[in-house]
Structure 1
Amino acid sequence: MKLIHIIAVLTLLTSCGQVTKKADQESAVANSTEVEQIKLNLPDTTISFMWRDLKYDSTLNDSFSSIFLNMDYINTMTSQEKAAIGYVSTFIGNECWWDGEANDDRSNLDCKIITALGLGYQCSESHLGFLRKWFSTDNEVLAELGDSNCPTTPYTATIQDTFSKIVISTKEDSISVYYEASAVNMREQESWEWSETVHFFATTDNLKLIKKDKSEVKLEKFEMTEE
């Protein structure tokens, strides 16, 4: 009986040791994976992503303020940077116009920045699906990216907003997007402008919105004149 008892105790201790060793190994793997996901080494850079300048229209024989994009940067940007710019650009107009006639469900709105990022039409599954993937752990952003919150506003709308400039900065595991924007309400004859910096924490798999630093909104009234 004593020999059987000793064998049983040794077996139990060996089993416990194996379980503990396995748990330690799994914990080490998990910690290693976590470090691998978080550790980034984005360069310390500040890049002008979008700006405005006059563009000549030969059909109208006149020049108009138009959006210009840094295509060299777009062709080399990381997915994290694309998601940061894509998120900010989702909610402010960027020369959006219908691809042909507007669909009944407004599903064919072509926005200059969203298209240049390769995300398809504004509010499409290609567009929102990409952002939801990158912000999959940020519940507040996911709520913002709901289908009912995504604007489909062409640049001829009575009430509209648009960018004046966008600058993106990166350093290690942080990304910040600074932009200047303006808006107009033709019906109320009001215009306003503001700027904002949106800060993100980036991992190899996800982005998380950390904070937004928004300036005061400058509101002005204007009068429509007939020529």
Structure 2
Amino acid sequence: MKYSILIILILLMSCAKKNESKTVKVETPIKMTDKSVKFLWREDEYDKELKDTVNTIFINQEYCKNISEPERAALGFVSSFIGSECDWDGKANENYDNLSCKINTALNLGYQCSNTHLSFLRKWFKNDQKSLERLKDCSAVPYTASVQNTFDYINILTKGDTIKITFKASGVNMRSGNSWSYKEEDTFVFKKDNLLLVNSKESENEKDSF
């Protein structure tokens, strides 16, 4: 009798293991919907502390609430090299990885050029060696720096598996009294669980002095 019960238990455990082995974890595929969105723009806003009107960056918060991961990665990549009113969270730490930027905050990417920020992007661009190399030049520059770039606008167009980001950036060198601006169009292709930057077109710099 004892042997019969033991055999039954062994058979039941064997069946359970077989059923477990048949259980396959199915990942929900990422879906992107076609859209054209104004992601970032500039407007004049009254600053109570300064008691003056300043030109500042605004971000489409409604779009950020339902943004897809590929779009988040594409925007995060573009913003890795240009500032968006970035400032240190307290004082700059010894690793310079506590720089808070408006785009990173809106996209929940962590501090600019931090491990959180770059790990997310490296995961999404894991099959794009050129983009991985470029991420080594991630720019952690606060808005108070004498030489800096910042965004004037960013638009994003999603169609099928393609994400196209167009933006205008402007820069200034307070030491030399020079300024510049340029436009860029970056095209990304979504491949199941990664992104590829397939094309990047940049206009000539428009230079000025002050």
Determine if the TM-score, normalized by the shorter chain, exceeds 0.5: yes
Q: What amino acid sits opposite 2:207 in the alignment? A: L
Per-residue CA deviations over 1:159-216 (Å, capped at 9, x if unaligned) read 0010000000000010010001100011111000000010001122010000111111
CA distance change for structure 1 residues 40 and 125 in 2, over 3 Å: closer, same or farther? closer
Q: What amino acid sits opposite 1:176 in the alignment? A: K
Aligned residues: 185
Per-residue CA deviations over 1:67-116 (Å, capped at 9, x if unaligned) read 00000001101000000000000100100001011112212110110121
Equivalent in 47, 54, 70 of residue 37 of structure 2: 47
Q: What amino acid sits opposite 2:134 in the alignment? A: E
Structure 1: unaligned runs, 5 residues or longer: 1-35, 223-227
| Higher helix fraction (1 or 2) | 1
> For 2:99 and 2:205, how far apart are their aligned partners in 1?
28
Equivalent in 156, 160, 172 of residue 172 of structure 1: 160
> For 2:179 and 2:119, how far apart are their aligned partners in 1?
33
Q: What amino acid sits opposite 1:141 in the alignment? A: S
Report if aligned partners of 1:83, 1:130 keep a CA contact under 8 Å in 2: yes
Q: What amino acid sits opposite 2:37 in the alignment? A: I
Report if aligned partners of 1:51, 1:67 keep a CA contact under 8 Å in 2: yes
Report if aligned partners of 1:93, 1:155 keep a CA contact under 8 Å in 2: yes
Match for residue 22 of structure 2?
Answer: none
Report if aligned partners of 2:188, 2:195 keep a CA contact under 8 Å in 1: yes
Equivalent in 101, 105, 128 of residue 118 of structure 2: 128
Per-residue CA deviations over 1:30-58 (Å, capped at 9, x if unaligned) read xxxxxx99x97633321000000012111
Match for residue 51 of structure 2?
Answer: 61
Partner-residue secondary structure (3-state), 2:121: helix
Alignment TM-score, normalising by the size of structure 2 = 0.84
Structure 2: unaligned runs, 5 residues or longer: 1-26
> For 2:30 and 2:93, how far apart are their aligned partners in 1?
42
Match for residue 215 of structure 1?
Answer: 203
> For 2:32 and 2:209, how far apart are their aligned partners in 1?
43
Say if 2:144 is the partner of 1:150: no
> How far 1:138 sits from its partner (Å)?
0.3
* Superposition CA RMSD, Å: 1.8
